[in-house]
């Protein structure tokens, strides 16, 4: 049976995983030699359609737990059952430090621009191989290819800014002051976004006067995507085979976490950009519920552009788009909630 100290260490390690908007949407139940990780539906949003962004984060959490457990001498297996990741602890052995263990607290979203020469093909191939398993990781490094991806991501960003519910969710998940960041310990600390002062002023203005976002051209709302995607070494897409199912998304989260930790070990920055893929899932798997007809057509259009840029087949589902860069370290890191706030022992 796990000790309380072991539960704490494993849960803290798990919580170092990424989650959309730093929502930390996991709920953990520990009993005897079993840890169940599921989505906390109360921490969802419109963008997190069907809880699939949460399921992806659950996979990342479970991967961290497995790495930390093995390093602490806890033999374990991870299985996925009906949208729940289950870590079963099967015995004890002499501690063996996983090579990715030290990367758990170092892994971070790096939104800064690429510096220097493009990443070597072997380095990128090593990251793709680290994901392994069921997923496909498509990469684009040409100027024209990155420009096509940037157009699709920018269109998705513009749709998010103009959609009343998605915009309200975005404003709600941001932490607008240092005090709010410290008190809440979740959401997006503005300092972590690495945005120019002019963009921060614009966001503050739109927060105060949300109707103004309707007056801005789509190209202006997509500026951030264009700048960052063109200013990276590679832009990548992790895709899964259809149909969309919870276990596949959790498994994809585990694969992405292995890739991200490997990139951290190798000094490569990772910056996720998942607004487009979640909007595409809403259209293709949920009938576009909550979108107007023009919005459905826009998602269909940029979804086709995204698939073409990455060379994906119609039956493949793009789940996670991300940038790779050799960039300076971020100037700020997101906080995490106390482990007790999402963990039940003996439930």
For 12-29, the DSSP string reads HHHHTS--GGG---EEEE
pLDDT score of 220 more than 80: no
Beta bridge mates, 84: 81
191 found inside a domain = no
246 found inside a domain = no
Place of tokens 């941001």: 174
Calculate what percentage of the chain has a pLDDT beyond 90: 88
The mean pLDDT value for 267-296 works out to 97
pLDDT score of 177 more than 70: yes
What are the backbone angles phi and psi of residue 319, rounded to the nearest 5°?
A: -115, -35
The mean pLDDT value for 84-92 works out to 97
**Is the previous residue joined to 317 through a cis bond, with omega within 30 degrees of 0?**
no
Element (H, E) at 346: none
- Residue 257 pLDDT grade (very low, low, confident, very high; cuts 50, 70, 90): very high
Q: What's 62's domain CATH number?
A: 3.40.109.10
State if pTM tops 0.95.
Answer: yes
Q: How many domains does the chain have?
A: 1
78 found inside a domain = yes
pLDDT score of 347 more than 70: no
Predicted confidence at residue 34, as pLDDT, reads: 95
Q: List the domain range (segments joined by +) for residue 39.
A: 4-107+336-345
306 found inside a domain = no
Cα angle value 144/123/335 (rounded, 5°): 90
70 found inside a domain = yes
| String of DSSP letters for 35-96 | EEEEE-GGG--SSSGGGHHHHHHHHHHHHHHHHHHHHTTEEEEEEEETTEEEEEEEEE----
Q: Name the DSSP class of 109.
A: B
- For 100-213, where are the E strands, in sequence order? 136-140, 174-175, 188-189
pLDDT score of 308 more than 70: yes
82 found inside a domain = yes
Given a contact cutoff of 8 angstroms between Cβ atoms, the answer to whether 5 and 17 are in contact is no
pLDDT score of 297 more than 70: yes
Rg of the chain over CA atoms, in angstroms? 20
Predicted confidence at residue 283, as pLDDT, reads: 98
Distance CA 14, CA 25 (A): 12
Predicted confidence at residue 214, as pLDDT, reads: 82
Distance CA 238, CA 301 (A): 20
Distances (CA, A) of 53 to 90, 110, 176, 316: 29, 19, 23, 17
Calculate what percentage of the chain has a pLDDT beyond 70: 100
Predicted confidence at residue 1, as pLDDT, reads: 82
Predicted confidence at residue 343, as pLDDT, reads: 98
Lowest mean pLDDT, pick from 155-164, 191-200, 304-313: 191-200
Q: What's the chain's average pLDDT?
A: 95
Distance CA 66, CA 136 (A): 22
Q: Quick one: angle between helices 52-71 and 275-286, nearest 10?
A: 120
259 found inside a domain = no
Predicted confidence at residue 286, as pLDDT, reads: 97
The mean pLDDT value for 278-285 works out to 98
184 found inside a domain = no
| String of DSSP letters for 205-235 | HHHHSGGGGGTS-HHHHTHHHHHHHHTSSEE
Predicted confidence at residue 126, as pLDDT, reads: 97
């Amino acid at each position: 049976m796990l000790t309380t100290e072991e539960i704490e260490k494993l849960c803290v390690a798990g919580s170092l995983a990424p989650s959309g908007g730093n929502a930390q949407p996991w709920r953990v139940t520990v009993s005897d030699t079993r840890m169940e990780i599921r989505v906390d539906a109360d921490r969802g949003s419109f963008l997190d359609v069907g809880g699939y962004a949460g399921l992806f984060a659950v996979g990342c959490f479970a991967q961290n737990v497995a790495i930390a457990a093995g390093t602490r001498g806890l033999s374990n297996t991870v299985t996925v059952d009906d949208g729940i990741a289950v870590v079963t602890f099967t015995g004890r052995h002499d501690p063996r430090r996983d090579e990715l263990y030290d990367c758990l607290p170092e892994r971070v979203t790096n939104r800064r621009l690429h510096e220097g020469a493009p990443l070597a093909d072997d380095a990128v191939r090593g990251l793709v191989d680290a994901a392994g398993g069921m997923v496909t990781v498509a990469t684009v490094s040409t100027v024209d290819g990155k420009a096509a991806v940037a157009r699709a991501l920018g269109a998705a960003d513009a749709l998010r800014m103009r959609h009343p519910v998605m915009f309200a969710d975005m404003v709600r998940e941001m932490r607008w002051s240092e005090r709010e960041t410290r008190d809440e310990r979740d959401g997006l600390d503005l300092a972590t976004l690495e945005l120019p002062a002019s963009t921060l002023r614009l966001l503050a203005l739109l927060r105060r006067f949300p109707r103004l976002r309707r007056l801005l051209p789509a190209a202006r709302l997509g500026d951030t995507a264009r700048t960052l995607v063109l200013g990276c070494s590679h832009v990548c897409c992790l895709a899964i085979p259809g149909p969309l199912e919870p276990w596949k998304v959790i498994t994809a989260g585990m694969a992405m976490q292995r890739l991200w930790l490997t990139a951290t070990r190798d000094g490569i920055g990772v910056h996720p950009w998942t607004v487009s893929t979640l909007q595409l899932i809403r259209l293709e798997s949920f009938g576009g519920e909550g979108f107007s007809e023009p919005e459905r057509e826009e998602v269909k259009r940029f979804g086709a552009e995204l698939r073409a840029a990455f060379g994906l087949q119609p039956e493949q589902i793009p789940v996670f788009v991300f940038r790779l860069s050799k960039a300076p370290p971020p100037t700020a890191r997101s906080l995490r909630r106390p482990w007790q706030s999402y963990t039940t022992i003996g439930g």
